[in-house]
A and B are shown apart, each in its own frame.
Chain A
Amino acid sequence: MKKILSVKDLKVHFHLGRSWFKSARVVHAVDGVSFDVFEGETLGIVGESGCGKSSLARALCGLNKITSGSALFNETIELATANKAQWNDVHKQVQFIFQDPVAALDPRMTVAEIIAEPLITLYPQMTSSQVMAKVLATMKLVGLSQNQINRYPQEFSGGQCQRIGIARALILEPKVLICDESVSALDVSIKAQIINLLQDLQQQLKLTIIFISHDLGVIKHICKRILVMYLGNIMELGDKQSVYENALHPYTKALLSAVPVANPELEKAKQIQLLEGDLPSPINPPKGCVFNTRCPQATNECRATRPQTKMVANNLVSCVQIH
């Protein structure tokens, strides 16, 4: 299968200002991750808040600067060193859907203007009638009706606004769709509608989707492969079955056991592996394995050496204790 995106040792760091009392500090949001995304697949990225999943996704479409490492798009464009013309090319093929559907839309623009904007920006040679035809076709695709075209975002519900956000992303006919918690803010009954829409669109348009979420139930439902992140590092990467059923990394296990399942019998029976404490600060990540401060199996080796990712069974894992 073709690699649509190949990420190697990617780092995204943010520099915080120096003050009188503090020396310059660096947030290690993404700290050396490597993975591939294949054409047509759905890759899920899971992790808790602060694990760097959003910083990673934003870096892949140019919303954050890549500090170091490499991200090769479509085997041709290197995102870490891309110039403006190359980024324009990437924007035509990689689009982003945001978490808060209402905040992502400009309240002073009509639906038609919002959806047409990327097209007008990136394809200035198109005539207005061509743009209009494309807007109407895309609205139909995501289940919006044509008579809503001159309305403003505040006249729509959250689910409808997310459809507008999806239309805005799809009007460019992208190859890759990055969904950053795109269904998290929606009510359950609406969430299922949008998930189904994304799945239908993926089949219809042969999209590659990178789906970021903290909701492991949603990730399991729509993704083929799953990448588990913790504090800017990859903990485990593998096929859905092997991650959910045979998780190897202690963090993946703890994360999976912490998710409450909507089934009282299973909930009463299950043993939750409680993690102690909170996520450490990404300004001063722990030495060695970043998970060692909360890991129930941490040893001195874990505190001293940073684990390399390696292939164990069917998963890529970074843990010194797994062989």
Chain B
Amino acid sequence: MTEKKIPLLDVRNLSVEFKVQDGMVKAVNGLSFKVYDGEIIGIVGESGSGKSQTMLALMGLLASNGKISGSVKFMGQELVGISTSKLNKIRGDKMAMIFQDPMTSLNPYLKISSQMTEVLMLHKNMSYKDALAESIKMLERVKIPEASNRIHLYPHEFSGGMRQRVMIAMSLLTKPKLLIADEPTTALDVTVQAQILELLKELRKEFGMTIIFITHDMGVVANLCDRVNVMYGGWLMETASINTIFNNSVHPYTQALLATIPSLDTHVEKLKTIPGEPPNLLQLPTGCPFQPRCSQANHLCSESIPLRRVEPRHVVKCVNAQGVVL
């Protein structure tokens, strides 16, 4: 993919802050990245790194005390500051989201049929009958057996993996351009996770979707994604293709993160650790949030740190990186 193509999603200098009793929580801090058509992009980071808040900000789903600044362009249209009614036409239609816990994101009082048909009746002006037929087709597509009977069940009558399939089917009903998946397999067992990952790959081929996949599991990233954004303390530390991230990462945090994972394919006597703990978002250090734990930190780390392009589409935010300042 070349740089000249217009990205599907163009995020520039996005920041998200929350006003709480003890001050301002800086959840996301000056984030910039692009997502091109047809890519699967992974966003990894530990809890509190801002990965979920970034996506909630894109979807206009921030909590009421959240403040967003910067620019998010989706298919050329600015999403920051847009009215809710305009946003409602985009989300659910061209942009859809799958959440981590399918039990809490489906309405337990409504049958799957009414939850699914609602989407089509609202966004596509379909009649109930057509919407139901379309919904059943989509449930079959995500491999739910006996879909025409099961659509009339309530969410609690499905298992965890099946519920997540229902969520995926629901988000695909309008054939969105962009699917945002926030840890959709974290609550599932590995054998079910493998089924869902395979399904997402098939669906991407079939519908030509672009997927943003949020996870903390580097194994899932290696399995599914084309590119990765590594986040820490609200910063985007490094973004590159998966081969670059896994084999030639530049940022000390990315390197340290990969070294701490006990893996099936290698054996080490003792795991490497990152000393200390993730930062308190209320009291972030000035400059790089990783510097108190970084083995390569120096006096420059507490100043403002530019984004550098190490090579095309490999961008790093670290004073020690070599490359063109963006």
Contact = CB atoms under 8 A, between A and B. Distances in A.
A189 B191 contact: no
B159 interface: yes
Interface string B262-277: 1111011011111001
B191 A196 contact: no
A189 B223 contact: no
Interface string A182-222: 00000111111101100100000000000000111110111
B297 interface: no
Contact of A218 (B46, B159, B162, B262): B262
Nearest to B217: A260
A260 B193 CA distance: 9
Q: What interface size band does chain A fall in?
A: 35 or more
B265 A187 contact: no
Interface residues of B, number: 45
A264 interface: yes
Contacts of B162: 278
Nearest to A278: B159
A298 to B, nearest CB: 16
Interface string A275-289: 100110000000000
A124 to B, nearest CB: 37
A24 interface: no
Contact of B262 (A220, A258, A266): A220
A187 B46 contact: yes
A247 to B, nearest CB: 12
B200 interface: no
A157 interface: yes
Contacts of A75: none
Given A187-B46, A189-B257, A256-B264, A262 B246 contact: yes
B265 A266 contact: yes
B190 A188 contact: no
25 contacts: A49-B189, A189-B257, A189-B260, A189-B278, A191-B260, A192-B271, A192-B274, A214-B189, A215-B262, A217-B261, A217-B262, A218-B262, A220-B267, A221-B268, A221-B271, A258-B191, A260-B194, A262-B246, A263-B222, A267-B222, A272-B194, A274-B195, A278-B160, A278-B162, A279-B189
